[in-house]
Chains A and B, each alone.
Chain A
Amino acid sequence: MSVSDIQAPVNERRPATAGMPMLHKAIFAVLFVLLAILPMLVYPVFAMKVMCFALFAAAFNLLLGFGGLLSFGHAAYFGGASYVAAHASKVWGWTPEASILVGTLAAGLLGLAIGALAIRRQGIYFAMVTLAFAQMVYFFALQADFTGGEDGIQSVPRGELFGLFSVNSNEALYYLVLAITFGGILFLYRIVHSPFGQVLKAIRENEPRAISLGYRVNRYKLMVFVLSASFAGLAGATKSQVFQLASLTDVHWSMSGEVVLMTLLGGVGTVFGPILGATIVVTMQNYLASMGAWVTVIQGVIFVLGVLLFREGIIGVLSKWLKRPL
């Protein structure tokens, strides 16, 4: 698959003015207010799960939508970080922010090692290399002692933030997760709209031209790979604190597939697409849980409909109608 087939070109029309356009500011503001009152409307743990996956999808979108690199192994960073963070909290007794930080760092380092090798190949080969490394991480998690095999790391204490504030209650933890994910998504937004992001888009559009202009393309690719892996790790590490466990689900290849689904459904290369995509997928998994096997069938139907009717993803199509990048 050539990656240039699946990107949304809508973002290119944005005038290269500095700062955030009013529309985006307004949407972020509405989103923030909505998220701030969300625990009163839905169950906080569910809302936290949605936010973790939104950050995960946004991190993946940085790589696919703006870097033009399709990774099939993002579960390795998401799950790897959740194991490291869970281990730090449970065995070393670290505070939540320290655990999340060390999980994120671990994912970044893993991304550096895997990315350095993977970016030497393009297209389908790149995807296969990332998948192969992710499978290695999966088997490591299955076999290693500290990961607890198929039981995972259970009963991770939530602890006290900075050793001061208890985040044992769902409500307290919710606002910590809100701060982390919202901050993370804003940071990703800043990356995309920085000069670095502009170069990334140039490389995505025409790599030989970017090289001829004097850019060291591989360094940019590696940088965006490491950034994407780190933010995926941030999401995974945060999730391990929310659910108080790290398990094989998070490193399984189907998790890598799920994040692709979320991003495509919402809209590749859009700012808000991954957030919406993650919300839809997680909500389906959660609220349709009682329907058993129908969950996967419904997921499949929605995906097929998405591909047929909203090829650029829901937000991608919306943004086309509005003739404005979203």
Chain B
Amino acid sequence: MLCRVADSLFWMSRYIERAECTVRLVDVTLQTLLEPEQSYEDIDYKHWQPILLSLGDESIFTEKYEERNSQNVTYFLTFDRENPSSVFSCIANARENARMIRDQISSEMWETINTLYLFLKKQNANAVCREIRFDFFKKIKESSILFQGITDSTFPHQIGYYFIICGRYIERAEKTCRIIESKQHMTDQIVEKADAIDTAQWAAILKANSAFEAYHRVFVSDIEESSVLQFLILSKNLPRSLFFCIQKLQYAMHMISGCRLDQYSNEAERLTGMLLSKLNYGSPSDLTYEGEDSLLAEIVSNLESIAVELSERYMFFPIVDPAAEPESQTQEQSTVTAIS
């Protein structure tokens, strides 16, 4: 497989997952804001700020928008083309990557992405944000899931497929970390740490990960920080838990290299194996999420290194993630030759 193709498959998949995660966050935050006692404007932004902070986008937002209200944040995170990690930017980037390799992917995969892109383009962005159209968020989430299903059932499960899997789970793991991290910013915001608010915040985090119902099936108790963390980080079967994602990632990487699961053949595999062991054999007291030396911070930095190593091993292209480096948005544009 061409290195460039591997690169595009990986990023196509990552961008779609990223769009879905952003939608999940926006969706669940908007739902939380519906709680009556919290629905006046000045407190709204306090709910958004943790999300902007954990996504690393807050500075771009505050620079661009004078009015820090719910509608503007929603617009910023969904339709704003100048925000490199907005849903629109992610889908446009996913489509651009898919277009580069459309001869390699199934036509169903291409059409799913293209249709989603066209759907986004024809939306009345202001109306969606002003009227809070939940069906819009649902549609994006469903399209992402549709794309995963179509990939699973129309794309040969060979090397290219596993690059898609790698992209999906690296991104998902990273976003699960971010969502958990957003809790510490929430805590920062509210001086009086009322138990009810705390519970509501953890519940929102569970919902953002489609884990609320599953949580209650496992933990009959109330929502508590320690058990939520345990669930979102260590669960062996929750599809958005860190352990689950990293295990899928490890498997996909070994399918690419052909190396046995209990050994490793490159740096990316070694790092992933270590990370997985740490989660597998760690104890609940290790599960910290606040501060630079927390477990979560370590996982995020490990995921970054794994992506870099993966890219160096297989794709030969330096990682250019516009969302990670908002300043260097200049995408390489080839000179265009007119051909009649």
Q: Do A and B belong to a common assembly?
A: no
Which residues from chain A sit less than 8 Å from chain B, CB to CB?
Answer: none
Which residues from chain B sit less than 8 Å from chain A, CB to CB?
Answer: none
